[in-house]
Structure 1
Amino acid sequence: MKDRKTKIDEYFKKIDKLGWDLNLRSIFELLKYVGNPQNQIAVVHAAGTNGKGSTLAFLSSIMEETGLQVGRFTSPALVDRNEMITINGVKISDAEMERGISMVEEACQKMVDSGFRHPTSFEVMAVLAFLYFKGQVDLALIETGMGGRLDATNVVAEAKLCIITPIGMDHEAFLGDCLEKIAMEKAGVFRPKVPVVSAPQEKQVEATLREKAQLIEAPFILIDRSNLSVLEEGTSLRFIYRSVEYKTEILGRHQAVNAAVAIESAKRLDKMGWSVTDEDLLQGISKAHWPGRFEILRRDPLVVIDGAHNAQGMQALNHARKQILKGEYRVVVGILGEKDMGPDFLEILGEASEVWTATPNNPRALSASNLSTRLLKQGIKSEAVEDFEVLIDLLASESTLSGSFPCLIFGSLYLIGPLGNALKRRLKNDSCFNCG
């Protein structure tokens, strides 16, 4: 007899074969069938190119400090699909997932019989999140999957707050070939008179966002970099925002910006009636955790994983790398085929002592051998490791771990998720595993 996890995996594999298109008709119809749970929840909606997950991790941690039950919907999952739906950091159980699927599956069949497209797996996950959060959470933090205007999460009648994280070039085939077009798609989550908290942006992006907010009378709060300064970055991060010092274990200078967005968002929620104290802010930032973002798996020698997967993310990773990885280092990298990684990607690889390429677990992945071929054309030698288990054995081997230089594993979340999880299991008995 199949267990719950197997049944759930098979259900989503079946949906994934059906294809998709970018519109909201199917998800609105599905939500109608299950009672429109999205309109029975207090929602904070986040869009942007980079930093959505980290920003919501900070904000969730802050609001949890106030005693609230905080739901969070993020994507993609690092390892387990259930990670996408959490309440106070605890992922949805297989039993709850199965219960939700039974409702959704019946509704989907009625939709198909009525001539609608079958909802995508992401649309189904979004609906499962809304169903799970209804009646259980005080606040739900919802992250867009791609874009904003036509994203499956953009179905809430009235969000309490909108968040925009740093916007850069990504998914150009769907969102547009310039920053202004991409910004306009992201601004599709704005609601009339609902406040927007934004990270610092490129000038043309800021102008686009401000114009959209002004049109719908939405207060626009932009993080001012002059109020933010980094004191220390390394294996922890200390920064000052609005004259208050904060500390976090989520690493990288760019995380100070994400934390500032979360702090400003929490202050805005405080003005709306959710009581947030200065101590809640301090403790929330300090306790926040977000796996796979310059996450230290081992400290001697250092093993770090990071989900940088576009040019903007590579720039942030490269800066963090220069602060923490001194001297020689090894790289393991895997990316999706359509990504333009920018100059920082090549700099990270070009300065590495050794480069191993790997294949992410995704149909759109660039194979390890093809990535190695591309890198060689840029003058970067690498070794392709096509087999996932072989890669794990190599990384966890005594000869590798006893080496004198650290290892940086980065790229697609479809690589670092399963790879990081497998390494954690292999290294958990190591005395230097995640110790500090």
Structure 2
Amino acid sequence: MEYQDAVEVLFDLHQFDPDRSLEEQGLKETENLLRELGNPHDRVPCIQIAGSNGKGSTACMLKRILRESGLDVGLYTSPHLEDVRERIQINDIPISEESVVSFIERVLDYLRDRSASGLSPTFFETLTTLALWEFDRKDVDMAVLEVGLGGRYDATSVVNPLAAAVTSVTKEHTDILGETVCEIAREKAQVAPDGGPMITAANRDALETIRDEVDTAITVGRVESTVDHDKNRETPDIRVAYKGRIGLEGAITISDDDWSLDARLALLGPHQATNAGVAVALARQVAEVSDRQICSGLRNARWPGRFEVVDQEPLVVLDSAHNPASCEQTIETLSSFEYDALRLVVGIMSDKDHQEMALALDPANYVTVCEPENPRSEDADVLAAVFDEQTDASITICSDVSEAVSKSIERANSSDCVLIVGSLFAVAEARRCFGSSSLIAPANYADQSSGSDSSDIESRPQHASDGRNA
């Protein structure tokens, strides 16, 4: 079997079956397929990360910190930018084509038999199984799993993690997870391990719900904000201060009652500071990590398509924000840059909240709407009407992403900003215009930065931490 044949088998599987319950298509079929392979997940130490926004970035930072501590680390995320192999990485290297082929050859008869009975695993269930199978074969020290949807019945929940996190909770997938933030938080809270730590940056009602579901939740929050608990203003267990942008890095301080650390982030924005706090808290719970390893990990963690600056004259930013909350975060991060006109290239999926996303992106002066090559993409005419109604921007319609990017950059002055936003699918297509590849393992920091060494990051340990008590 050739690699492309194996990939076709994967993409021929169902994406989501509305006629089957979440449990049936999240857990049961994943467990059945894993059983067929000898339950490899039972031999892989895992960390599970759920959340409405930020779980991928958090997983990336956690993986990098654990790598800096000397561990062999598997990373499972979704979706991918260019190639499905991006979703499954070991030590920053995507799974090989040979491994994908070997897996499909091993399970093909099983998939065909289950398909004949109408019970074939979905694409995500099969990818999750492939990840756990590969992590077991390569004997990783730790696997970091990004939850796909919700938590309780997500395919990744076949594992009993050593530690888990819920990064944030907003209204999303309300037709599946529940109509309210509390209902959604309840689903996500189920990733909590039996007897292990749960880290969360959720707040207000979502935090209250998580605390009702979990014995002990370690909270993370920015010090410029507070957590609303029992109508009182509560200080988070892990405090994060975002001190602004230094070049293309973010300066942060992370602290608890006995420890404090200054660090820099390759991922920009106040929201990424919060994600970094969650990643650091998880790392200190499961491994012996030094302050220097934490600093190096945060500074070297790169996550393509997440506020990715690809040019500066004009400023060109790729960001996969795909809901109102993440769009607000993108605009907040962008406010630290100086530019004249803001030109958006927007491609959004049909199941998203277009109107609220448009409102969040209201600072735009010009908007070019387009349709990524995905069957879920919203019609460009529909998006044009929404942005025309919700913003004062001048609207242009383009047939595809590459045309929209080219025209926006051509029309921009060197002092303008071109922001490509709305979905990971739009960002993936835009990245090809700049020759970027997501299959290249990240170089070390010295190769991708201004050349400064991590030794200029000040750390202030106030006691000798054993690396486990965040």
Query: TM-score, length-normalised on structure 1?
Result: 0.89
Higher mean displacement: 49-58 or 93-102 = 93-102
Which residue of structure 1 lines up, in the alignment, with residue 458 of structure 2?
Answer: none
1:57 aligns with 2:60: yes
Cα displacement (A) at 1:31: 1.1
Cα displacement (A) at 1:345: 3.4
Query: 1:161 is matched with which residue: 142, 160, 163?
Result: 163
Structure 2, unmatched stretches of 5+, are: 224-238, 438-447, 451-470
Secondary structure (helix, strand or coil) at the match of 1:15 reads: coil
Query: 2:426 is matched with which residue: 387, 390, 415?
Result: 415
1:251-271 C-alpha deviation (Å, 9 max, x unpaired): 1111000001111111111xx
1:394 aligns with 2:436: no
Which residue of structure 1 lines up, in the alignment, with residue 43 of structure 2?
Answer: 40
Alignment of 1:35-434 (within 5 A): 35-112=38-115, 115=117, 117-136=119-138, 137-156=140-159, 158-199=160-201, 201-214=202-215, 219-226=216-223, 227-233=239-245, 235-242=248-255, 243-269=260-286, 274-341=287-354, 343=356, 345-348=358-361, 350-380=362-392, 381-394=394-407, 399-400=410-411, 403-424=414-435
Higher mean displacement: 39-48 or 184-193 = 184-193
2:151–2:189 Cα contact (<8 Å) kept: yes
Considering only aligned residues, what root-mean-square deviation do their CA atoms show, in Å? 2.2
1:99-120 C-alpha deviation (Å, 9 max, x unpaired): 111122222223345x461111
1:159-194 C-alpha deviation (Å, 9 max, x unpaired): 110111111111111000100000011012123212
User: Residue 95 of structure 2 aligns to which amino acid in structure 1?
Assistant: I
1:69–1:139 Cα contact (<8 Å) kept: yes
1:302-321 C-alpha deviation (Å, 9 max, x unpaired): 11011111121112112112
Distance 2:46 2:203 in 1: 27
User: Residue 421 of structure 1 aligns to which amino acid in structure 2?
Assistant: R
Distance 1:265 1:346 in 2: 34
Which residue of structure 2 lines up, in the alignment, with residue 429 of structure 1?
Answer: none
Which residue of structure 1 lines up, in the alignment, with residue 455 of structure 2?
Answer: none
Cα displacement (A) at 1:417: 1.5
User: Residue 154 of structure 1 aligns to which amino acid in structure 2?
Assistant: S
Which residue of structure 1 lines up, in the alignment, with residue 5 of structure 2?
Answer: 7
Distance 2:379 2:125 in 1: 28
Distance 1:435 1:143 in 2: 27
Distance 2:331 2:357 in 1: 6
Distance 1:401 1:376 in 2: 20
Distance 1:165 1:253, change over 3 A: same
1:159–1:191 Cα contact (<8 Å) kept: yes
Cα displacement (A) at 1:422: 3.2
Distance 1:375 1:106 in 2: 49
2:323–2:353 Cα contact (<8 Å) kept: yes
2:412–2:418 Cα contact (<8 Å) kept: no
2:50–2:150 Cα contact (<8 Å) kept: yes
User: Residue 213 of structure 1 aligns to which amino acid in structure 2?
Assistant: V
2:58–2:278 Cα contact (<8 Å) kept: yes
Cα displacement (A) at 1:425: 5.0
Figure out how many residues of one structure are paired with residues of the other and give that number: 413
1:368-426 C-alpha deviation (Å, 9 max, x unpaired): 22211222233543111113443354356xx3466441211111111112222332359
Query: TM-score, length-normalised on structure 2?
Result: 0.83
Distance 1:142 1:110, change over 3 A: same
Distance 1:257 1:224, change over 3 A: closer
Secondary structure (helix, strand or coil) at the match of 2:335 reads: helix
1:367–1:386 Cα contact (<8 Å) kept: no
Secondary structure (helix, strand or coil) at the match of 1:298 reads: strand
2:368–2:408 Cα contact (<8 Å) kept: no
Higher mean displacement: 227-236 or 116-125 = 227-236
Which residue of structure 1 lines up, in the alignment, with residue 456 of structure 2?
Answer: none
2:340–2:417 Cα contact (<8 Å) kept: no
Secondary structure (helix, strand or coil) at the match of 2:64 reads: helix
1:237–1:248 Cα contact (<8 Å) kept: yes
Higher mean displacement: 334-343 or 245-254 = 334-343
Distance 1:310 1:344, change over 3 A: closer
Distance 1:159 1:100 in 2: 24
Distance 1:236 1:251 in 2: 6
2:345–2:421 Cα contact (<8 Å) kept: yes
Cα displacement (A) at 1:9: 3.4
User: Residue 12 of structure 2 aligns to which amino acid in structure 1?
Assistant: K
Distance 1:425 1:83, change over 3 A: closer
Distance 1:345 1:67 in 2: 44
User: Residue 305 of structure 1 aligns to which amino acid in structure 2?
Assistant: L
Cα displacement (A) at 1:354: 1.6
1:79–1:421 Cα contact (<8 Å) kept: no
User: Residue 246 of structure 1 aligns to which amino acid in structure 2?
Assistant: A
Distance 1:139 1:236 in 2: 27
